[in-house]
Amino acid sequence: MSSAESQAAPSLEEQVALLTERLNEAQKLTALGELASTTAHEFNNVLTMVINYAKMGQRHNDQATRDKAFAKILAAGQRGAKITNGVLGFARNRSRGMEPTDMVKLVEDSLLLLEREMNKYRIAVDKQLHKVPLAMVDGNQIQQVLLNLLINARQAMLSGGRVTIRLTADPATDTVELMVRDTGSGIPADKLPRIFDRFFTTKSGPDASGKGGNGLGLAFCRDVIEAHQGRIRVASTVGKGTAFTLKLPAVKPQPAGLPIDVPVVGAQHRQPAGR
């Protein structure tokens, strides 16, 4: 091989990085397809409400009934817009790097995408979203991490249960803390140290909804959080449930007149759920 050919050929590390990126993009498209299927049903419910209240408004001439119909139609239309924006936001990159991000809105948008699925599998959602500083994150990546954890939680509760999402701030460490806790089957102690290993899974394969089982989801979560210079930890008890906690960097208060220092994400990862 000539010197020029040697310089042009990508190294093994570069080839692995390229293949990993392509795998991540393919997995993201799979996750997007799953969300599209779920939200299509929810959007159909919105359209049904719009049609039914429009018919009610046509049947009744009194102003009170028509006002009620218009109000319901407006509410349904606004909900439909939120669903559409949620899917579009997940499908595209919000940015090419980290930026100050409203974590409460990010959590609410993620729950909207999974609302029908949670209802279908009888999962109650307990939101404990406290007022927190903006987080310095790549919103698209963190939303994918959250969706992974929520789908994992749902899959761990085969007979229904409760998932708790808690958002708090730790001023001492300038971090925003996001916890996802379920009341599911839990993870055996001997498997817990390996759950972030790539291709390791506690599942036998995808469930009835086609999600999970490839052992890539939590490895992706770890990679994203570490790229954000944050931390992810897990606590689990068999028969009682599992809690994942993310610690993400908060936007530090800046002196008046100074711009916010925005770092750039080193790598763009994409991955669907799978414990």
Residue 14 dihedral angles phi and psi, to the nearest 5°: -65, -40
Q: Calculate the CA 148 to chain-centre distance.
A: 6
| CA distance linking residue 101 with residue 178, whole number of Å | 13
- Confirm whether pTM is higher than 0.85: no
8 Å CB contact between 271 and 143: no
Helix/strand/coil for 55:
helix
Q: Is 211 exposed, middle or buried (0-12, 13-18, 19+ CB in 10 A)?
A: buried
C-alpha distances out from residue 15 to 33, 220, 222, 231, Å: 27, 18, 22, 28
| CA distance linking residue 223 with residue 229, whole number of Å | 10
Closest CA to 187 of 116, 241, 132, 150: 241
Closest CA to 98 of 142, 145, 141, 136: 136
Helix/strand/coil for 116:
helix
Cα torsion 53, 57, 62, 63 to 10°: value is 80
| CA distance linking residue 11 with residue 9, whole number of Å | 6
Q: Positive or negative CA dihedral for 203, 208, 214, 215?
A: negative
Domains of the chain: 12-88 (1.10.287), 98-249 (3.30.565.10)
What does the block give as tokens for 135?
Answer: 């987080």
Helix/strand/coil for 254:
coil
Amino acid at 144: Q
8 Å CB contact between 138 and 106: no
Tens place of pLDDT per residue across the chain (275 aa): 455 454 567 787 777 667 766 665 655 565 555 566 556 656 776 787 788 888 888 888 888 888 888 888 887 787 777 777 666 666 555 455 789 999 999 999 888 878 878 988 999 999 999 999 999 998 878 888 898 899 889 999 989 999 999 999 999 999 999 999 999 999 998 888 888 776 656 655 555 554 555 445 788 788 889 889 999 999 999 999 999 999 999 998 766 555 555 544 444 444 444 45
